Amino acid sequence: MMSAIPRRRIPATRRFWAVALAIGAVALYIAFAGQWTLPHNNDAPFFERLNDFRAWIDANRNSNPILVVLIVGVRTAMGALFTGYLGILQVLTWPGLTVIAGGLGLLVGGRRLGGLLLSGFLSFGVLGLWDRSIETLAMTFAAVTISLLIGIPVGIQAGRSVRFYSAIRPILDVMQIMPTYAYLAPFALIFLIGPTTGAIVTLIYAIPPAVRITALGIRGVAPATVEAATSLGATRRQLLAKVQLPMARRTIVLGINQTIMMALSMVVITALVDTPGLGKNLIKAIQISNVGVAFDAGLAIVIMAIMLDRLTTRASERVDPARAGGAEGPSRQLRLAVLVASVAAVLVGTFVIDGGQFPTTIGFSFREPINAAVSWVSLNLYFATEWAKNAATYGLINPIQYTLTNAPWWLVGGVISALAVVVGGIRPALITALCLLGILGIQLWEHSMQTLTLVLVATLLTLVIGLVLGILSARSDVFSAILRPVLDAAQTMPAFVYLLPAVALFGATRFSGIVAAIIFAVPPVIRLVEIGIRTVPATVREAGVSAGATASQLLRKVELPLALPALLVATNQGIILVLSMVVVGGLIGAGGLGYDVVAGFVRRDFFGEGLAAAFAIVLLGIMLDRITQSAGSTRARDPSASAGDDTATAPAAG
């Protein structure tokens, strides 16, 4: 990866080329604006071809033997897995499940974790979302099971063979860049609606971390250990079973943790294809514009995510071979007590009370207070929200969109590619040019430029906000401590939820899509900036201070430049998150490719356009990813930056 990137140019040359590029671009724009544009055509031949493909699948789904075997097989297996998990969770009844979860927490992580799981499960019921939560849990388990069955073996292979890993790496990248939303339609076409399609769509997103982290774990086994085992005559198989796997165990369990988190962040969006669970409430909330309804469901998902996260994290610590000797397992009595309590709770739930139904008498909902707060803001702060919307729309969105859609396509493509050369070198520029040609080929130029506009504006605002809040948290421990739980929650909340407050405050506009994207993408940026600044060595800072630098000079001349690598990684992460969210913004009038995907999913005659838009989104994603990543690695020259994409922790929108 690193070796492929040419040595960094001397800054003076770089600046010269940048200025030349800017002057040339402006001159060409003035000369040719309005010509060679590619206005959108809903009837483009490429869309028609995809529509024909849809019609063919639809007509042959039940007669073509390959399709029949594939569809019936996958549907039956996935359906059984999901209904099986759901059946178990339901049979255990709510008191039983709650006690079992609490007991499991107690055994794995002690009293605090036990309490967390116990109260977490109870809160599902109190929120009035027991059934929906259990469905989401079953759905997550089903998707995670398959993800691990595929991901861990592939990851082991990838960990043992560098060539294999570099071969599958681009595929993993695409799997994670492509917003789930984009592939709902094609998968629903083949596997029809229902939990099967939901699970498949989810596992596409959940497999990459399983593969990546398993590979990381296997590769991370100290070479000396491997050497020692090999010299003692261990076969490859023995090496794997006796050395590599046990040593990598902790990392692999962390991979399971990541897989669960990814699956959970995706599983809600699949409600659009009739997957049961909390996602249904979110969809409903969007339909009826009810922020409170979405908040309750979002909260349940956050609670579920926290529980599963803590549980698997603790489990990974427990299986760490380095600690195996020291860690005290739970005592035999405790285990017995948990077992007895669980059985008793299940029996109580089955025979004593109606454990299938959480009592409605104890219920609490944030619906009313949240809705009251939202309507207060939209009524009383109307001038502020309207001002923000208009400032961003007239100041940024409209001019950028106008320029991008009015400039000749070759000028836009040429400038972006040239920028890629300046920023990252020849290789990313080539990829960029290819992606742009691809977008040209699938006849979605104008909509892609609209989406690109939204991505640029949202990324810019995300970076500005992230930088400000990141600096503040780096400066003040108190601020950082207050902000951290907010960021945790914001990152766990399904991105879907952010659409609602955005719509309530800013209407169904492009700006609402941008706002939702900012809320979604800003937490990791804040964190990375904070870490970047905090890791500036104290000696460097002191040197600055003793040289008489003021606080703002210190920030500009010392801290920010040193934090630049972190900022570039933040840009890279942020831009992909923003892209995935901007697309979902199509649900609330954000337009562009997002709208095409939405329409392609819900209207048959738009299928082709929607699928083409999904391709365009992937191409945009690859392009933005490569440009920002290469910018990061050419400047940072920091090997740890490339480790970042192996352990990417941010969830995505869908």
Partner 1 sequence: MSSNKRFGRLVVGFVAVSLVAAACSSGGSGGSKGTVNIAVNPWVGYEADAAVVAYLLEKELGYTVVKKDLAEDVSWQGFESGEVDVILENWGHPDLEKTYITEKKVAMDAGQTGNVGIIGWFVPKWMVDENPDITDYKNLNKYADLFKTSESGNLGEFLGTDPSYVQYDEALITNLGLNFKVRFTGSEAATVEAIKQADAQKKPLLAYWWDPHWLNAVVPLVRVNLPAYTAGCDADLEKVACDYPEYKLNKIIRVGFNEKGGDAATFIKNFNWTNKDQNVVADYITNGNMTPEAAAEKWVKANEAIWKAWMP
Nearest-approach distance from CB 289 to partner 1, in angstroms? 4
Which of 351, 478 has the CB closer to partner 1? 351
Binding segment (CB under 8 A) for partner 1, from list 115-123, 209-217, 280-288, 335-343: 280-288
Q: What is the CB neighbour count within 10 angstroms for residue 34?
A: 9
Task: Tell me which residues in 322-361 interact with partner 1 (CB under 8 A).
Answer: 324, 327, 329
Nearest-approach distance from CB 567 to partner 1, in angstroms? 31
By the rule CB under 8 A, 604 interacts with partner 1? yes
By the rule CB under 8 A, 385 interacts with partner 1? no
Give dist(CA 595, CA 67) in Å, integer.
30
Which of 290, 573 has the CB closer to partner 1? 290
By the rule CB under 8 A, 636 interacts with partner 1? no
Which of 41, 535 has the CB closer to partner 1? 41
- What's the token pair of residue 215? 């590979």
- What's the token pair of residue 164? 């294999």
Give dist(CA 294, CA 283) in Å, integer.
8
Helix (H) or strand (E) holding 202, with range, is: helix 195-219
By the rule CB under 8 A, 307 interacts with partner 1? no
Which of 406, 647 has the CB closer to partner 1? 406
By the rule CB under 8 A, 254 interacts with partner 1? no
Q: What share of the chain is helix, strand, coil (3-state, %, to 5)?
A: 80, 0, 20
Give dist(CA 561, CA 569) in Å, integer.
14
3-state secondary structure of 177: helix
Which of 248, 419 has the CB closer to partner 1? 248
Binding segment (CB under 8 A) for partner 1, from list 212-220, 341-349, 448-456, 592-600: 592-600
Binding segment (CB under 8 A) for partner 1, from list 172-180, 273-281, 474-482, 562-570: 273-281
Candidate list 595, 612, 629, 631; residue touching partner 1; CB under 8 A: 595
Binding segment (CB under 8 A) for partner 1, from list 187-195, 446-454, 544-552, 567-575: 187-195
Binding segment (CB under 8 A) for partner 1, from list 24-32, 73-81, 297-305, 445-453: 73-81
Give dist(CA 145, CA 259) in Å, integer.
10
- The DSSP-derived string for 88-117 is HHHHTHHHHHHHHHHHHHHHHH-HHHHHHH
- What's the token pair of residue 412? 């836009």
Q: For partner 1, what does the binding mask look like between residues 464 and 503, x meaning CB under 8 A?
A: ---------------------------------------x
Cβ atoms of 302 and 311 within 8 Å: the answer is no
Burial 178-190 (b: 16+ CB within 10 A, else e): bbbbbbbbbbbbb
How big is the site for partner 1, counted in residues (CB under 8 A)?
68
Give dist(CA 264, CA 269) in Å, integer.
10
By the rule CB under 8 A, 90 interacts with partner 1? yes
By the rule CB under 8 A, 44 interacts with partner 1? no
**Amino acid type, 574:** G
By the rule CB under 8 A, 246 interacts with partner 1? yes
By the rule CB under 8 A, 128 interacts with partner 1? no
Which of 71, 577 has the CB closer to partner 1? 71
Nearest-approach distance from CB 341 to partner 1, in angstroms? 19
Which of 103, 632 has the CB closer to partner 1? 103
**Burial class (CB within 10 angstroms; exposed 0-12, middle 13-18, buried 19+) of 86:** buried
**Look-up: residue for tokens 């106008």?**
402
* All residues at 6 or more sequence positions from 69 whose CB lies less than 8 Å from its CB, including other chains: none
Candidate list 80, 232, 384, 547; residue touching partner 1; CB under 8 A: 80
By the rule CB under 8 A, 42 interacts with partner 1? yes
- What's the token pair of residue 303? 């609670």
- What's the token pair of residue 552? 């703002």
Q: For partner 1, what does the binding mask look like between residues 202 and 241, x meaning CB under 8 A?
A: ----------------------------------------
By the rule CB under 8 A, 60 interacts with partner 1? no
By the rule CB under 8 A, 283 interacts with partner 1? yes
Candidate list 52, 394, 464, 542; residue touching partner 1; CB under 8 A: 394
Which of 247, 623 has the CB closer to partner 1? 247
By the rule CB under 8 A, 598 interacts with partner 1? yes
Which of 159, 424 has the CB closer to partner 1? 159
Which of 192, 636 has the CB closer to partner 1? 192
**Which own/partner contact pairs does 47-52 have at CB distance under 8 Å and 24+ positions apart?**
47/443, 47/608, 47/609, 47/612, 48/608, 49/608, 50/607, 50/608, 50/609, 50/611, 50/612, 51/605, 51/607, 51/608
Torsion (CA) 206, 210, 211, 212 in degrees, nearest 10: 100
3-state secondary structure of 590: coil
Binding segment (CB under 8 A) for partner 1, from list 170-178, 233-241, 294-302, 598-606: 598-606
**Amino acid type, 9:** R
Task: Tell me which residues in 497-556 interact with partner 1 (CB under 8 A).
Answer: 503, 507-510
Cβ atoms of 651 and 492 within 8 Å: the answer is yes
Give dist(CA 54, CA 73) in Å, integer.
21
Q: What is the CB neighbour count within 10 angstroms for residue 320?
A: 16
Nearest-approach distance from CB 219 to partner 1, in angstroms? 20
Which of 8, 603 has the CB closer to partner 1? 603
Cβ atoms of 562 and 529 within 8 Å: the answer is no
Q: Which residues bind partner 1 (CB under 8 A)?
A: 42-43, 58-59, 61, 79-81, 83-88, 90-91, 145, 188, 192-194, 246, 249, 271-274, 280, 283-284, 286-290, 315, 318-321, 324, 327, 329, 389-390, 393-394, 398, 402, 503, 507-510, 586-589, 591, 595, 598-599, 601-606
